[in-house]
Amino acid sequence: MRRLAALLPVLLLSGCGNDPAGVLSPTPSGLSATVLESGAVHLSWNQCPDPDFESYTLWRSGTPGIADNPSLATAVFSGMDVLSMVFTDSTASPGQYSYYVLETRNTSGLKAWSNEVTVFVPDPDPVLTVFFIDPTWGSLSGDAILVRTPGGGNYLIDGGSSVPQWSCGTDVIIPLLDSLGVSHLDGIVATHPHSDHIGGLVDVLGTVTVDTVWDCGWPGEASDLYEQFLDEVDACGARYVVARRGMTLDWGQDLTVRVLHPASNLGSGSMNNASIVLMVSFGDVNVLLAGDLETAGGEESVMSAFSPFELRASVLKVGHHGSSDATGYPWLEAVQPQIGVIEVGAGNPYGHPHPELLNRLSTSGTAVYRTDLNGTVRIETDGQTVNVFP
């Protein structure tokens, strides 16, 4: 018995570390890490075998040597369940190295560090994302499109309608921006001053900061709403630019954004035909945003200024909410869209989208997505292929 008692402290000491006072430190765990395809980091470690286990804390830092300088690190996980031995960190910064160490604590307040592991999280492939936002509320319709550029910019094209009880800006666009963590817009495009396009923009301008507002500069009689919109642009301090055919908008180096319409002379045509029409190009993929452009005087004007090759686009925002007076056969023959998205309210009183227009799209072999049936439609492209998420 005397011999066993003498051996016991030696056995315990060989299993674990201890501090100078003879209290045992925790057994350190072995830590390993792999980077998943999503860019998240999967970490796993050995179970602590000590009966006085208290907690695990997983630390991450952008610099090595966490155990020597823990104040530079961030705790990404902590838990008191000894069987919690995996964690997936989805907040590691892409394009740089991340270092991880697991700290194990025991009930005596002592701690042990695991080995330090290093991973490199690659930059995600650049993607252009376009949200065709559902403008539906009661009998209201409209256009509202959010473009997220491969470089991380956010641009809003039109803002749907707004009435005292409801606003596409306050009730739809702002919650979408919140869900994306966006509190600043690099730009807003008001295609033309109809209420189903600028109504919600007034509320957006009063809520988030905006760098630049592009407007068609309608020269005719202005509605109270248009005056209010221009006042709001002025008050928010955004740069105000009148967009004209031939301009190229600087939305980042990965993207080319050309103004196809309106021409310098807006003339006395319909306000729909004053719509700003944009061709957004990323890699091999073109997205044509046609506002409320009508065939007569609108599409005709664009086709007289550009070759069919210059108008070709994989994705077409179908003009004027799917009205039969827009998106004629010559336009479809020039653009040759694979995907057509119709921005239209489900309860609109105009019968949009019109059957004649749907027939033209079908005859042209265009796959059609409609906000009145699909809700908000999101497209994503890497510049090669286009994915649609209705």
Give CA–CA dist 56/51, Å, rounded: 14
Stretch of 23-31, 114-122, 196-204, 217-225 contacting Zn ion, by CB under 5 A: 196-204
Closest separation in Å from C-beta 195 to Zn ion: 9
The interface region with Zn ion, picked from 112-120, 146-154, 195-203, 229-237 by CB under 5 A, is 195-203
Choice between 60 and 194, CB closer to Zn ion: 194
State the minimum distance, in angstroms, from the CB of residue 376 to Zn ion. 17
- Contact pattern for Zn ion over residues 282 through 321, marking x by CB under 5 A: ----------x-----------------------------
Residue pair 279/306 in contact by the 8 Å Cβ criterion:
no
Nearest approach in angstroms of CB 157 to Zn ion is: 12
244 class by beta-carbon count within 10 Å (0-12 exposed, 13-18 middle, 19+ buried): middle
Number of residues lying near Zn ion (CB under 5 A): 2
Stretch that binds Zn ion, among 158-166, 190-198, 204-212, 365-373 (CB under 5 A): 190-198
Asked if residues 40 and 33 have their Cβ atoms less than 8 Å apart, the reply is no
| 213 versus 344: smaller Cβ distance to Zn ion | 344
Which tokens in the block code for residue 148?
Answer: 């997220």
Task: Name the DSSP class of 222.
Answer: P
Nearer to Zn ion, 196 or 372 (CB): 196
Report the 10 Å Cβ neighbour count for 272.
21
Phi, psi of 158 (to 5 degrees): 65, 165
For Zn ion, the closer of residues 186 and 196 by Cβ is 196
Q: Work out whether 196 is an interface residue with Zn ion (CB under 5 A).
A: yes
* Angstrom distance (rounded) from CA 39 to CA 367: 32
Closer to Zn ion by Cβ: residue 291 or 337:
291
For residues 12 and 7, give the distance between their C-alpha atoms in angstroms, rounded to a whole number. 9
Q: Which is nearer to Zn ion, 89 or 325 (CB)?
A: 325
Q: And the tokens for 244? A: 């004209």
Taking residue 143's Cβ as centre, other Cβ atoms within 10 Å add up to 32
372 binds Zn ion (CB under 5 A): no
> Which tokens belong to 10?
């030696």
The residue ranges that bind Zn ion (CB under 5 A) are 196, 292
